[in-house]
Structure 1
């Protein structure tokens, strides 16, 4: 989100006329709503963008608009520097660490027996299983939602080579979380090809692959994770593999 907002700041700095400013403000408000910026930020942007339209003096109107423009630029740069840019690294580390420990949630949710006074039963929990990527995506989205308010599921975007749909997108981190679940009809070659294609098509600074390898296709888990956990064409890729144990 910070990269997108920086693009708008650069555009605003080149605005010179009242018409350009009004058009820009409309697009800025629309973008912020689509990207689910905090309500307080959207309200502040609207307040900073207001200026007095002097019906008797175009020069005065332009002067008022320029002041509003300068105030808005200052505020948007403040957001970039203090709200998004500085915490980004720590927040990314938090997301990566949480995904790497996602199995702890599954373990606690599925394997710890409910109290006998609970209405949930072991039979209820046993009925919840990860059988495909949609099941995994649903659980990942649910546990990440409290951490990232702007998280979105199944986001379709234009890659420049056609439309692509990401499983989970977190705009504030410019990150994508892609859920992969191996199946009996899938080969290791097919899984690798899917990952490589996703890296090419997705537009994000960070791409996380969460691979639920229930069919144990990946024989060398450590090397597989290491191969895909690096930078590809300016995108930071992190692969996390969970191979459930069946007793």
Structure 2
């Protein structure tokens, strides 16, 4: 049984995008335009979408088989007719797939206790980020038990020097809860490639980690975050700033400036600054 590999609303959104593209082709076809080549390009895009969203290759493979048009070299009219039939067949298949996803048909079989929906995932990530300093205090700064083999002098040697250190510790907190979380994921943003620090594909969550340093200005930090906010593809983008050198003059205003809702932006944007600890 095939299962979806992302949250249902993300899968439905991507299927709807392919249906919207198909509607444009149907409109051109009804205007007597030749859409044979465009239709085949669209089918390739659909194959990629289905392959990325469904665990079984048969979903995309069967789609290609059922929508294939073999041109009749002796009759252009017959080829045009076949394209029209394939357009409608494609719409029926994607509409049925979308309906099945909405009904929960392709959801993995998880117990109620194990299932984490998108809203809960965002809440968990938010709490981890906002309480990051509590982990640092409990793990590295609090006194150790006298009978333990981990010694305080060993823990004192561990220092956060840059964002890669923050990223490593943060990832170690996220992965036990979200085992499929990925680290340093490279993606094509169109103009150039981008590197996401931590990605939770199933929920469309991306976390960008920053660690301030002595030779950084607040303006430079704003420019970097502005670029990340614009180019990163995500449903929910967290900008996590470990303000090691207390660079940000007004953290509350800074967080507010880098907060957006999806209705007015193309993603939910949330910024969390940690600066309460010395480490």
TM-score (norm 2): 0.65
Q: Where does residue 78 of structure 1 map in the other structure?
A: 103
Q: Where does residue 6 of structure 1 map in the other structure?
A: 12
The structure with the largest alpha-carbon Rg is: 2
Select which of 255, 258, 265 maps to 1:233.
265
The yes-or-no answer on 1:101 pairing with 2:131 is yes
Residue 115 (structure 1) shift: 1.5
Q: Where does residue 55 of structure 1 map in the other structure?
A: none
1:215–1:82: structure 2 CA closer, same or farther, 3 Å change rule?
same
Residue 91 (structure 1) shift: 2.3
Residue 180 (structure 1) shift: 0.4
Q: Where does residue 275 of structure 2 map in the other structure?
A: 243
Residue 170 (structure 1) shift: 0.8
The yes-or-no answer on 1:31 pairing with 2:52 is yes
Question: Alignment RMSD, CA only?
Answer: 3.7
Q: Where does residue 201 of structure 2 map in the other structure?
A: 171
d(CA) in 1 for partners of 2:257, 2:58: 46
Asked if 2 retains the 8 angstrom alpha-carbon contact of 1:159 and 1:201, the reply is: yes
Asked if 1 retains the 8 angstrom alpha-carbon contact of 2:132 and 2:274, the reply is: no
Asked if 2 retains the 8 angstrom alpha-carbon contact of 1:182 and 1:213, the reply is: yes
Asked if 2 retains the 8 angstrom alpha-carbon contact of 1:9 and 1:76, the reply is: no
d(CA) in 2 for partners of 1:176, 1:104: 22
Gaps of 5+ in 1: 15-21, 33-40, 51-67
Gaps of 5+ in 2: 1-5, 23-42, 63-92, 109-115
TM-superposition CA deviations, 1:173-197 (whole Å, max 9, x none):
1111111001111011101111101
1:8–1:178: structure 2 CA closer, same or farther, 3 Å change rule?
closer
Asked if 2 retains the 8 angstrom alpha-carbon contact of 1:110 and 1:125, the reply is: yes
Aligned residues: 220
Asked if 1 retains the 8 angstrom alpha-carbon contact of 2:133 and 2:277, the reply is: no
Q: Secondary structure at the match of 1:42?
A: coil
TM-superposition CA deviations, 1:106-148 (whole Å, max 9, x none):
1111122221221111122112211101001111111000121
d(CA) in 1 for partners of 2:233, 2:46: 25
Q: Where does residue 211 of structure 1 map in the other structure?
A: 241
